[in-house]
Amino acid sequence: MAQWAVIIPADRWATERLFHHDTLTVAGLAGVEPAAGDEVLLVAGDDAPQVVALGTVDGSPAARRGAHGVPELVVAYRRRSFDEPVPADELKLAEPVAEVEEELFRRLAARLTGDRDRLTWLVSLDLPIEAATPAEAVRQFWSYVLELGPAELPTFVSPSGDELAMQAFVLGEEANLDPEEDED
Helices (H), 70-133: 102-111
Q: Which residues of 85-111 are buried (b: 16+ CB within 10 A; e: fewer)?
A: bbebeebebeebbbebeeeebeebbee
Structural domain including 161 reads 121-175
Please give the average per-residue pLDDT across 122-143, as a whole number.
93
Task: Tell me which of 111, 133, 157 is where a domain ends.
Answer: 111
Amino acid at 49: P
Cα gap 9→26, rounded to integer Å: 8
pLDDT at residue 14, as a whole number? 87
Does residue 110 surpass a pLDDT of 70?
A: yes
pLDDT at residue 7, as a whole number? 92
pLDDT at residue 69, as a whole number? 65
Q: Environment class of residue 25 by beta-carbon count within 10 Å: exposed (0-12), middle (13-18) or buried (19+)?
A: middle
More confident residue, 92 or 144: 144
Same domain, 95 and 128: no
Q: Does a structural domain hold residue 150?
A: yes
